[in-house]
Amino acid sequence: MQIKRKIILLFMVFGFTNMFSQETILNLKEAINLAITKSNEAILANTKIETKKLEVNIARNIQYPDFKISGQYLRLTGAKVDLKNSNPNAKSSPVVNELLIGQANVNLPLFSGFKIQNSIKATENLYQAEASKSLQTKEEIAMKVVEYYANLYRAQKSVTLISENLKSAEQRVTDFTDLEKNGVIARNDLLKAKLQLSKVQLSLDEMKKNVSVLNYYLITMLKLPEDYKIGIDEHQFDNGKSEFISRNFDDALKNRKDLAAFKFIEKVGENNISIAKSGYFPQIALKAGYASLQLQNVVTVTNALNFGLGFNYDLSSIFKVGKDVKLAKNKLSETKQSQEILSENIKIQVQNASENYNLTLKQNIVYAEAVGQASENYRILKDKYDNGLATTNDLLEADVEQLNSKLNYALSRANSFLKYYEMQSASGLLISSFNLSNK
């Protein structure tokens, strides 16, 4: 019974060890979700939104009344008090050493040339613009994940294919060594086989390095453990995205978050023009207050309530405000022009992305056919070589072509996968295509 328990325990230990030493499959949707929620760039984007939200709250405080309380206690030295209504026969003035003053004032702005309202609207539009920028930032983060994910697949697939080719190359060297010893082939043919084996080994080492670098970048970005090995299910590259797609400018202009941000910034420019024009108008405020005063041995004032209207108008603004308005209008024109430039660039990006994607679909067909052609070519040359009808160079070249065709096909699939999501990104639909919330 104890022996069985030990066997089960050893099995569990080796099982867990093997599990943690292998790669963990992480699909692209999971990777993107981690990136837009846990990456430093996504957290910074959310923080910027919170900052703008606080600025909105601060701006709204301007419309509320100011309530101030002040008090003073002053010691007077050698104060001479001359009371105009006092008895002229008085021989001396009262001794005054202390002065106490207490005040409470309320100031409520009633009219400021619509400056307050437009200042609040400007901060609200800036908040909306920052929210749109945040969404665009997360779209760019998602696209970055797609790029590195596709590159990691390319590197991993290359390692797999080159490793298989390395085994064939090693076996060929073993076979050629025996043939060379028996005088069947020349030593030069053996050296050619060994040289090809060395080249394959170098290519494999480079691809393994690329896998390590790309894996480390992704786990760092996604906040995964440092020993996490990302495995990729290549069936994701066979997800039915094989249809040719035509460009759609209207959807792109509607869904791009960076363009939406410009629209809110344009509204900010309109608000700034109204703020500048507010200088043409006077400022009116409702004022109320309470005062209390005590001058030692002289006078005491309590319950001195006051209220009324305050009026303020800067006459020089008639000459100054015009330039401020002109400056605000020019900045608005700059925003509109930048918005037009971005719209044109979006159309170019969509056009380019759709053409690139459709091109990769055509390339996939050619590369798929090339795999079969290269495999058949190698089989034929192998038969010829075994029958002495082909040289070693022909055999090795056919083997290289067979490996290259498999690599090209794998890389083409990854490229088609990448170009599809580049097209989604250009249209502002990358994250939504995975049914993820971009918030």
Pairing status of strand 98-111 against strand 66-75: antiparallel
Instruction: Look at the chain and count its residues.
Output: 439
Beta strands in 191-232 (DSSP E): 230-231
Q: Is the pLDDT of residue 11 over 60?
A: no
Selection from 236, 233, 229 nearest residue 211 by Cα: 229
Q: What is the pLDDT of residue 7?
A: 39
pLDDT digits (tens, 9 = 90+) for 153-171: 999 999 999 999 999 999 9
pTM of the model: 0.82
Question: And the tokens for 321?
Answer: 């405000």
Q: How many CA atoms within 13 Å lie on the side-chain side of 414?
A: 22
Residues 267-291 have a mean pLDDT of: 91
How many Cβ atoms sit within 10 Å of the Cβ of residue 403?
22
User: Dihedrals φ, ψ of 273, to 5°?
Assistant: -65, -45
Structural contact between residues 187 and 145, judged by C-beta atoms closer than 8 angstroms: no
Task: Select the highest-mean-pLDDT range: 17-31, 40-54, 78-92, 390-404.
Answer: 40-54
State the amino acid at position 1 in one-letter form: M
Report the Cα–Cα distance between both ends of the chain, in Å, rounded: 57
Q: So what's the pLDDT on residue 359?
A: 93
pLDDT digits (tens, 9 = 90+) for 191-220: 999 999 999 999 999 999 999 999 999 999
Report the amino acid identity of residue 102.
Answer: G
Quickly count: other Cβ atoms within 10 Å of residue 208's Cβ. Answer: 16
Residue 88 is predicted with a pLDDT of 59
Contact, 209 vs 408, CB < 8 A? no
pLDDT given for residue 4 in this prediction: 43
Percent of the chain surpassing pLDDT 70 = 90
What is the pLDDT at residue 334?
95
Query: Which pLDDT value is given to residue 228?
Result: 94
**The two three-digit tokens of residue 77, written as one number:** 């030295």
Give CA–CA dist 266/122, Å, rounded: 10
Judge contact between 146 and 32, C-beta under 8 A. Answer: yes
230 bridge partner residues: 24
| Gyration radius (Cα) of the chain, Å | 40
Tell me the average pLDDT of the chain: 87
**pLDDT tens-digit profile of 408-419?**
999 998 999 899
Q: Which two tokens stand for residue 38?
A: 């846990």
What is the DSSP annotation of 16-36? Answer: HHHHHHS-EE--HHHHHHHHH
Cα–Cα distance for residue pair 4/397, rounded to 1 Å: 55
The residue written with tokens 């290549």 in the block is 234
What would the mean pLDDT of 94-116 be, rounded to a whole number?
Answer: 87
Extract the tokens encoding 407: 């690599």
Comparing CA positions, the residue from 141, 155, 164 lying closest to residue 215 is 155
> Looking at residues 237-252, what average pLDDT do you find?
69
Q: In one letter, which amino acid is 125?
A: N
CA distance 292 to 284: 26
SS3 category, 304: strand
For residue 185, name the pLDDT band (cuts at 50, 70, 90).
confident
Task: Give the CA count within 13 Å in the CB-facing half-sphere of 29.
Answer: 9
Specify the pLDDT at position 10: 39
CA 206 to chain CA centroid, nearest Å: 30
Residue-level pLDDT at 251: 84
- 35 φ/ψ angles, rounded to the nearest 5 degrees: -65, -45
Note the pLDDT of residue 403: 92
> DSSP secondary-structure letter at 299?
E
Q: What is the pLDDT of residue 386?
A: 86
**107 bridge partner residues:** 66, 287
Measured CA to CA, the distance from residue 381 to residue 362 in angstroms comes to 29
pLDDT interval class at 3 (50, 70, 90):
very low
- pLDDT, one tens digit per residue, over 15-29 is 433 333 467 889 999
Locate 262 and state its tokens. 């410009």
pLDDT exceeding 90 applies to what percent of the chain? 59
Higher-pLDDT residue of 143 and 66 is: 143
pLDDT for res 22? 64
How confident is the model over 324-346, as pLDDT tens digits? 999 999 999 999 999 999 999 99
Look at residue 319 in the predicted model and tell me its pLDDT. Answer: 82
**238 pLDDT more than 80:** no
Encode pLDDT of 132-148 as tens digits: 999 999 999 999 999 99
| pLDDT classification of 2: cutoffs 50, 70, 90 | very low
